[in-house]
């Protein structure tokens, strides 16, 4: 929308505000011919000429039209209130806008999972906007509310302060935000396209309309009932996209690091034979780093109190002796094992098992 069109919208909005004490149908009748006249006149203006210079201020021109149509001068319109005088239509509409904006922010964080949740702030917006849609583009009654004045005072820092300069800079970025807002809502629509066609269409429509809602809200405050919740929706969707992306990255990282580990078989004992098939005893085994190769130790009940001292046996000595217990004394018994299957190159030993002998605990050197 160019500057000329914005000037026309602003001028007409001022005229509607000057006529807003009249019934809506009478305002529409007055403005029907005026809108075309003002738009045509704006095309005839010189480079430095304004509509105010040709027609006077919007209030003055509206007063002339009022007199020409036979309407009385404008009087202060009393707001329609309840009996208590506190819940006026403008106040309910203003708080409805604030509530819908907050609810939309929360709903936006869950819209990609369940788009129907956006119906809640939508209903609040429709009901609150219905209370003031006939009160003119400037929404003067809402602007005159005490809470509106307090909010404007809070959002208006003193001139020359860093906060005032920062706020001025942020206002200059509004056109960029309108575009970013549409992109964020459009991204949400794309993410819903494959599983929720109605949610996709709803978000796509909001994204398109939001491009035009930003500049129009500057001259017609009624567009705030769309522009503010649209901004809240964009921020909520951004939070959800960040959350989903972070979860996917964390899942991908954990899945890559959770490959099944190779199964390591454990052995209770190891029996070594020479090339002739003879069982070797008292063999000490070490790995490539010189560390002992230790099989799990299983000494039955010898480690219980009162069963005598536990035999001291190197943990990497093979075959591991059997530990037995008799008459209150633990002692070692040489293990027995059947010879391995015979092969052509390694004939089996003539004896099928190693002899059994008793080995005193003190005859074995302690492990490292």
The tens digit of pLDDT for each residue in 143-152 reads 778 888 888 8
Neighbouring C-beta atoms of residue 211, cutoff 10 Å: 15
Look up residue 288 and give its two tokens: 């490539």
Q: What letter would DSSP give residue 279?
A: E
Phi-psi category of residue 95: left, alpha or beta, with phi > 0 → left and psi -120 to 50 → alpha: alpha
Residue 179 makes CB contacts below 8 A (sequence gap 6+) with 211
Residue 93's nearest CA partner among 29, 46, 163, 140 is: 140
Query: Are 141 and 90 spatial neighbours (Cβ–Cβ below 8 Å)?
Result: yes
pTM of the prediction? 0.50
Q: Could you give the CA distance from residue 60 to residue 50 in angstroms, rounded to a whole number? A: 15
H-helix segments, the chain: 3-18, 24-42, 51-55, 58-68, 89-108, 119-130, 140-143, 146-154, 162-172, 174-192, 197-217, 224-256
Residue 230's nearest CA partner among 57, 100, 319 is: 100
All residue ranges of the chain with pLDDT < 70 are 1-6, 75-85, 252-268, 295-313, 325, 328, 331, 334-368
The reported pLDDT for the residue numbered 254 is 65
Residue 234's nearest CA partner among 94, 98, 95, 109 is: 109
């Amino acid at each position: 929308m160019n500057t000329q069109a914005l000037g026309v919208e602003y001028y007409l909005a001022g005229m509607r505000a000057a006529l807003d004490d009249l019934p809506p149908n009478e305002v529409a009748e007055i403005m029907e011919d005026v809108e075309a006249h003002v738009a045509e006149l704006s095309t005839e203006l010189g480079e430095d000429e304004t509509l105010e210079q040709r027609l006077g201020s919007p209030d003055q021109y509206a007063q002339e039209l009022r007199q020409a149509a036979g309407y009385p001068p404008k009087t202060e319109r009393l707001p329609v209130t309840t009996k208590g005088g506190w819940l006026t239509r403008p106040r309910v509409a203003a708080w409805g806008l604030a509530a819908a904006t907050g609810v939309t922010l929360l709903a936006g964080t869950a819209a990609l999972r369940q788009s129907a949740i956006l119906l809640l702030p939508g209903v609040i917006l429709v009901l609150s906007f219905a209370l003031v849609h006939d009160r003119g583009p400037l929404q003067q009654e809402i602007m005159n509310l005490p809470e509106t004045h307090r909010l404007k005072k809070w959002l208006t820092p003193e001139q020359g302060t860093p906060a005032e300069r920062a706020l001025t800079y942020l206002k200059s970025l509004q056109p960029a935000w309108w575009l970013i807002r549409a992109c964020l809502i459009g991204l949400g629509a794309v993410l819903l396209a494959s599983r929720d066609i109605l949610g996709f269409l709803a978000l796509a429509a909001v994204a398109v309309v939001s491009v035009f809602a930003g500049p129009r809200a500057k001259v017609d405050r009624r567009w705030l009932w769309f522009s503010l919740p649209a901004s809240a929706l964009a921020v909520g969707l951004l939070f959800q996209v960040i959350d989903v992306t972070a979860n996917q990255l964390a899942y991908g990282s954990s899945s890559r690091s959770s490959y099944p580990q190779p199964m390591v078989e454990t052995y209770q004992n190891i029996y070594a034979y020479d090339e002739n098939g003879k069982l070797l005893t008292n063999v000490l085994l070490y790995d490539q780093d010189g560390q002992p190769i230790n099989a799990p130790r299983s000494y039955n009940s010898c480690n219980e109190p009162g069963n005598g001292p536990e035999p001291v046996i190197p943990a990497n000595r093979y075959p591991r002796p059997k530990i037995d217990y008799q008459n209150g004394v633990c002692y070692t018994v040489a293990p027995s094992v059947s010879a391995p299957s015979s092969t052509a190159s390694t004939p089996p030993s003539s004896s099928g098992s190693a002899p059994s002998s008793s080995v005193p605990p003190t005859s074995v050197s302690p492990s490292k």
